[in-house]
Amino acid sequence: MPERARVATASSPEKLTAKTERPPEKLTEDSRTRLCWLTPQKHY
C-alpha cells in the first residue's frame, strides 16, 4: 500500500517507521492497536 505509506509519511513519519519495522502480518490486532497509541507517545 504505497499510497497509504505516502500519506502516513507526510502526516507522521514516526508511525510509518514503527509499522515498517514490524510487519503487519506478524502483528495481531491488539499489537496494532498498541502501536497506534504507543507510537505518538514514543514508548517503544
Reported as a single tens digit per residue, the pLDDT across 9-32 is 455 555 555 555 555 555 566 666
pTM, to two decimals:
0.16
User: Contact, 42 vs 34, CB < 8 A?
Assistant: no
The maximal CA–CA distance of the chain, rounded, in angstroms, is: 27
Note the pLDDT of residue 15: 56
User: Contact, 44 vs 18, CB < 8 A?
Assistant: yes
User: Contact, 24 vs 17, CB < 8 A?
Assistant: no
Show me where the domains of the chain are located: 2-38
